[in-house]
Amino acid sequence: MKTLDIAQVVAASGHPASTLRYYEELGLIESVGRRGMRRQYERDVLKRLALIAMARSAGFSLDETGPLFSDNSSVLIPREELHLRAEELVRKAREMESLAAIMRHVADCPAPSHLECPSFQKLLRIGLKHESRSRRRRQSTSGRKLEGQSSHLTK
């Protein structure tokens, strides 16, 4: 079987050699040997790198990406986790659309002062409620992460 030189993997994947070495250090990919000083990889490394990139785009950390690979021949897709992350992306997209609408209104508001505009006043109240909910959600999420980290540390 023909292997790929690290330079060929760099060219085909778009990842710098330093990233390939780092992924190898983390156990996400592995080289199959060396030719001179250059690492050699099986062709399947390109699929693995594409899956790592896809997982990163979906918001998975590198630590979370490792368990997706049960062995060299299969991938374990956490379907429920993907559904949850997709819903979070949809929620964020809605928030961004709302923010864009607010910005357009503020930019185009004909009132002499934005503070005199009833629509702007309403947007301020909505924004305040949203910020309060977001802050509580972040605090709740960081609390769960800390609980998970402490249970992981005690194992």
Q: Which of 39, 68, 97 is the last residue of a domain?
A: 68
Average pLDDT estimate for 80-89: 89
Alpha-carbon distance values, 34 to 37, 46, 71 (Å): 6, 17, 22
**CB burial of residue 4 (10 Å; 0-12, 13-18, 19+):** buried
pLDDT at 14 over 90: yes
Q: Are residues 141 and 85 in the same domain?
A: yes
Q: Are residues 90 and 39 in the same domain?
A: no
Write down the pLDDT at residue 154.
41
Range of the domain at 48: 4-68
Q: Are 17 and 52 in contact (CB under 8 A)?
A: no
Q: What is the tally of structural domains in the chain? A: 2
- Residue 107 in domain: yes
Q: Are residues 30 and 85 in the same domain?
A: no
CA distance 138 to 66: 26
Q: Are residues 13 and 55 in the same domain?
A: yes
For 39-56, what is each residue's pLDDT tens digit? 999 999 999 999 999 889
Nearest to 92 by CA among 124, 62, 58, 123: 58
* Helices 6-13 and 45-57, axial angle in degrees (round to 10): 40
Kindly report the backbone phi and psi dihedral angles of residue 68, in degrees, each rounded to the nearest multiple of 5, phi listed first: -65, -25
Q: Are residues 88 and 143 in the same domain?
A: yes
Beta bridge partners, 153, equal: none
Average pLDDT estimate for 3-23: 94
Q: Are residues 83 and 62 in the same domain?
A: no
